[in-house]
A and B are shown apart, each in its own frame.
Chain A
């Protein structure tokens, strides 16, 4: 009977020890996480990680005869929110060969961030696709990432007078670039009205 009582006391002590251990764990684990931001001062939208607000096409006559042309699409606050404020028509002279380069900007920050430089730095992940709606313009990419073309630089061979559109798409194709437009996520998709004068 005596040993029984001893055992009982011992087991009780054990239990108490384990119970307190459990309690200690509960307290230790219950440290609360906090939100450090102020509700009343929202993060400015300009702080957004990165957007492309502006696409500008710069055309120069390969022969140096016709004046240079630029055409811009600009949506100053990115997707959603306000609509675009600049959406130019591409006006090119007939029967001319133009060299075109693409400039991409993020104008939500000041000074504007030149996104096309980042695209150039990661040209093996990016691919431009040009789709004119009419036969009066034919476009080829003239730059390369070493394996595939990129499209930041291109050559536009302009034929007879006419009106149509030109769709310009930038695909982000990390690790999946294969020289076609199919894979990847679309970063830019703008269709410019195009007039051949």
Chain B
């Protein structure tokens, strides 16, 4: 009601202001004092005369039509105390605001700091600049901008995030606060998420097992959509990205609305289309490496201070061509492919996707409701359903024509997951704040076609409690959490003509203890000790079959036991005037670490003899550090250095672990131009990335030695053009600028072909306002 009064008041004074000849403007950003992130939908206002404007989704605001003189400006973010600043206007003025941002009171905030309680593990966010520069690339590719995060790829279209050497079932991806449930065990199964959905991409490195499940041994990837629109009106954003390699085009649009009559109602529609053709290495095209994708999502929220409910639905659909020359029949083919200078199958450019290929669909429905309980607490109920369908088509259709005409996939998986959670959160009571919750999941998987993993049902239940302690004036904050889980799974498979259905039950506890010490505004120290555990995955227990891409036979072991991890990590975050530094160090001990161990006797099949791997358990130690250093040489020029080092050792057999990322170093120079009248945030940057040859590998574990190290040069530039309160953002980047020929150890197709050559991307982000109630922007 207050808001409507405010609207009417501003509306009625509008003509007065419009007649005024005053034409100066105040512009700037509203920024979170603590983590320097923009605070979207904040309000900047003056009392006399009563006028206000809202900041856009990037925290940017323009306060127009000011006369010269001294004003008292207030800036307020939803749920926060207003900050007051006296500013003298003599011309167009720039001023940023840093309102006190009380997370606890923010009713609809879904940001990372809210959803992840274990703050003693630093959350490393993808910067706005990195997010822009990686638009059009896959999620796994984009996340590699975060130091310590690498990718495990299968050709140019499939990449999965690797955190501190761990991936697949050992990391957890939270899509809009929901655990992503796909067939993530497979090395060639990339996360089924549209990166354009994300308003924020972040990674928590280290065992983060209390809040979302015990199995996040390596870390958590957070994909958080932007908050729904809080200001009345309808607006949106259009993203266009073109990439030269594979002539890939992306278009993504978002439409956000907020009702002026019922401010509690917010909604969003979003969609993305993507199409790419054959990628090119410096010397040749990669046959059948096109991809297409079409995704959409919708969200609806009804949010009051006391209660509210949100609905979210998204669909991800993709067709991915698998590089033809990598689909091989047997070891001899592999050897031949490896010895060949160029792939044995060549191609020109085409958008057509042929066999072998994958078709994947992923669907997420989520609803979340909250209810405030008294002054100190809140109950949050969440339900989510996910459906994942994965079709894999072999290189050649069946020889039998009638079978071939059906065009069936060789392999099909359908995975349905239901998850529900009840959470009670309380804000600070006597220096303590925390949350208590229970959650349950039910999952079922079916397969058709060639056997690789069996049908199964899985029921999981967990209970957790996490509290943090921080007296008001204390620099030290301590947090501790505990979680208990029970996981039951039952398998259905054919054996000697009959269906067998063995079942397993796993029960365990995980806990965490951490501390944060804020020495001063510049320096923060964090340390964390966490345990995590993971029951063996279905494929590790029961897989039995031939991997075409890897020319190997993988055999599961139904007697595998739970994997248990203890992770110690510490970080230093310093942000001074010129120098800033982030150092993450970790030591991860994983007992009964499950990995594929080569057997001495190959399996003889009609296609020849295949090297055979069995799932085995050893004790593994992974330790390393990630360092990011940034130094401002002048106001405009900044030098940034990153280093990421990992040692992964198999303590049981006293040798290194296979398929671990090698050391990586990156140095870049960034020049930020002074903001002009018509242009803002203009920059150019040049970076040199060096990846060393992986020398820490077990002997005789691979068909060929790891590829040589490499160095590539990347370039990027961007510019923002303010236009009536919105800002159009343009950018260009070039990856592998010098068209360097190289292969990467973490690409499973390294035996067959070089990495992509030069890739130039051009992008535009165009925000638009379809409709604003006249009273908000006094223009």
Contacts and interface: CB of A to CB of B under 8 A. Distances in A.
B299 A182 contact: no
B499 A42 contact: yes
Contact of B608 (A26, A87, A115, A190): A190
Nearest to A44: B494
A194 B400 CA distance: 32
Contacts of A183: 344-345
B313 A26 contact: yes
Contact of A42 (B450, B493, B605): B493
A18 B410 CA distance: 45
A189 B607 contact: yes
A16 B234 CA distance: 11
A83 interface: yes
B330 A186 contact: yes
Interface string A46-59: 01111011110000
A18 B446 CA distance: 41
Given A73-B606, A79-B606, A172-B396, A41 B492 contact: yes
A32 to B, nearest CB: 6
Contacts of A191: 608
Contacts of A62: none
Contacts of A188: 606-607
Interface string A17-55: 011001101100110111101111111110111101111
Contacts of B269: 22, 25-26
A182 B605 CA distance: 20
Given A48-B450, A73-B606, A185 B327 contact: yes
Contact of A79 (B456, B499, B546): B546
Given A40-B501, A185-B395, A45 B387 contact: no
Chain B: number of interface residues, binned into ranges: 35 or more
Interface string A75-92: 100111101100100000
A61 interface: no
B267 A26 contact: yes
Given A50-B399, A53-B606, A189-B332, A33 B446 contact: no
Interface stretch (A3-11, A143-151, A156-164): A3-11
A55 B606 contact: yes
B298 A182 contact: no
Nearest to B355: A174
Contact of A39 (B233, B387, B456): B456
A76 to B, nearest CB: 11
Interface in A64-114: 73, 75, 78-81, 83-84, 87, 113
B344 A42 contact: no
A57 B329 CA distance: 21
Contacts of A87: 604
Interface residues of A, number: 68
Contacts of A122: 399
Interface in B456-483: 456-457
B689 interface: no
Contact of B296 (A7, A29, A121): A29
B11 A4 contact: yes
A13 to B, nearest CB: 9
Interface string B4-42: 000000011000000000000000000000000000000
Nearest to B266: A19
A26 B299 contact: yes
Contacts of A81: 451, 544-545
B361 A33 contact: yes
Interface string B225-264: 0000000111000000000000000000001010111000
Nearest to B604: A84
A187 B257 CA distance: 57
A142 interface: no
A14 interface: yes
Contacts of A4: 11
B408 A39 contact: no
B705 interface: no
B348 interface: no
A114 B313 CA distance: 48
Interface in B434-458: 444-451, 454-457
A33 B315 CA distance: 10
Given A26-B311, A43-B448, A190-B606, A185 B396 contact: yes
A187 B329 contact: yes
Given A22-B257, A37-B414, A42-B454, A75 B606 contact: yes
Interface string B759-776: 000000000001101100
Contact of B400 (A18, A29, A38, A50): A50
Contacts of A118: 399-401
B728 interface: no
A11 B544 CA distance: 63
Contacts of B553: 79-80
Q: Which 10 A-B pairs have the closest CB atoms?
A: A186-B329, A189-B608, A118-B399, A26-B298, A37-B446, A35-B414, A50-B398, A30-B313, A79-B546, A80-B545
Interface of B: 11-12, 232-234, 255, 257, 259-261, 265, 267, 269, 296, 298-300, 311, 313, 315, 327-330, 332-333, 336, 344-345, 361, 363, 365, 385, 387, 389, 395-396, 398-401, 403, 408, 410, 414-416, 444-451, 454-457, 492-494, 499, 501, 544-546, 553, 555, 603-608, 610, 770-771, 773-774
10 contacts: A7-B774, A11-B260, A22-B267, A75-B606, A80-B544, A119-B399, A171-B329, A185-B328, A185-B329, A189-B329
Interface of A: 1, 4, 7-8, 11-12, 14-16, 18-19, 22-23, 25-26, 29-30, 32-35, 37-45, 47-50, 52-55, 73, 75, 78-81, 83-84, 87, 113, 115, 118-119, 121-122, 169, 171-172, 174, 176, 182-191
